[in-house]
Amino acid sequence: MNSENILLDKVKEICSIESDNALAIKLGIQRQAISKIRREEMHLSDERIAELCDMANLDGGKWAASIRSEKAESPKERAMWESIVERLTATAAALIVGVGVSNPNTSHASIGNKEELKQADKLVGRAGIEPATSGLKVRCSTED
């Protein structure tokens, strides 16, 4: 199955669209256009790829490059598009890993914050408010 068909099926699945006819209506095109794309008599334009990816919240650049690599007319052109797809895939994977590493587990972060709140010296603010033992006390400066 080619990338255009995979994209059409993925969009239908993600958007809960029952049929190619329903997808064509949603896109504002004739159902024969979807049929021709499926039979490889017609191809998706970059604009249509972007529209489909936007509908399903997919990476338009990756899909466009993947589809273009299949449609490439020369080995050099195909190699170029495949290289772009590989780089986009590697970048996306690195971003996902990076987000996981830089985003601490919420439960651990909240435990750390609770521990800090138990330390009286952490509660002293810039406004001169001292830790409360029997209510808030305001520090007086020696000049008063």
| 143 within a domain of the structure (yes/no) | no
pLDDT at 79: 85
**Element (H or E) spanning 130, and its range?**
strand 129-130
Contact yes or no for 81/63 (Cβ under 8 A): no
CA within 13 Å, CB half, 3: 19
pLDDT greater than 80 at residue 7:
yes
Shared domain check, 124 and 70: no
Asked whether 78 and 37 are in contact (CB, 8 A), the reply is no
Q: Which residues contact 49 (CB under 8 A, 6 or more apart)?
A: 7, 60, 63, 64, 67
**Residue 85: CB atoms within 10 Å:** 19
27 and 98 fall within a common domain? yes
When divided into structural domains, the chain yields a total of 2
Q: Residue 144: its pLDDT value, please?
A: 47
Q: From CA 5, how far away is CA 13, in angstroms rounded?
A: 12
More confident residue, 121 or 10: 10
pLDDT tens track for 34-52 = 999 999 999 999 999 999 9
* The pLDDT value given to residue 1: 63
Model pLDDT for residues 54-88, shown as the tens digit of each residue: 999 998 888 988 898 888 788 888 888 788 878 87
Same domain, 69 and 130: no
Q: Do 119 and 74 lie in a common domain?
A: no
